[in-house]
Homo-oligomer: A and B are copies of this chain.
Amino acid sequence: MRADGRRENETRDIRIERGYVKHPEGSVLITFGETKVICTATIEEKVPPFLRGSGQGWITAEYSMLPRATPTRNQREATKGKVGGRTMEIQRLIGRALRSVVDLKKMGERTLWIDCDVIQADGGTRTASITGGFVAMAEAMHKLMEKGVYEKIPLTDYLAAVSVGIVSGAAVLDLNYAEDSTAQVDMNVVMTGKGEYVEIQGTGEERPFSAPELTNMLSLAKEGIDYIMGKQRESLGEIASQIGDLVGQQS
């Protein structure tokens, strides 16, 4: 039993509320327990210089925390005049992960901006951002489909992320902040609907970890991601069936 009463293979309460803000092409408020992230998707009809004329699209993610998303106030990066290393690492991860399930050629020469703004942080903000960013992205692509730009949403599969770790010697799923800050090992896993890995980032914070511990954590991550993808499909409603070739198997 964990401090908040969860079993080791249990995620926190996960909710995905679509259409949270009115202007963006896709928008979601995703909550993993007390962690709340607004994910929006913006369509821009041009691409970064290295892709101009290629016929190919691009996904760029940006991540930020409100100053009081955390127990003590963080100085704004705008005020500091630069984006910090942690933020860069996270937004590069989000972008890379989301791109892995997009057919960039079919997407066409446009950019999807995924903005993940953490309203309240309690651990797992990057996994919530990837999970919510996927839904906002699907929503925006669906809007383009409705406009006749696409015949089919150019997503090859589902994508979700979850954290696992070793806390007090035991492998646990979806760490909250209290667990995360005392974890011996911390790992983020991003997987596709087919159950393959897109990203594995494991760090021995307090001590190195063994091969069997790795196996345990990956097995919890798989369980967690299956559950989270159920939530994504629920929130996507009729859009859910348009993603990938794998409709039948998944639902």
Q: Which residues of A contact B (CB under 8 A)?
A: 21-24, 27, 34, 36, 38, 40, 42, 44, 62, 64, 66-71, 73, 76-89, 91-92, 96, 100, 113, 115, 117, 119-120, 157, 187, 191-192, 194, 196-204, 207-211, 214, 218
Most buried by B among A22, A44, A96: A22
Number of copies of this chain that the complex holds: 6
Does more than half of chain A's interface fall in helix, strand or loop, or is it mixed?
A: mixed
Known contacts A78-B64, A78-B83, A85-B88; is-contact A196 B208 (Cβ 8 Å): yes
Separation of A71 and B38 alpha carbons in the complex (Å): 16
- Cross-chain contact B218 with A197 (CB below 8 angstroms): no
Q: Which residues of B contact A38 (CB under 8 A)?
A: 66, 119
Given contacts A67-B62, A120-B21, contact A218 B211 (CB under 8 A): yes
Say whether, besides A22-B120, A201-B200, A73 and B88 are in contact (CB < 8 Å).
no
CA A192 – CA B21 in complex, angstroms? Answer: 32
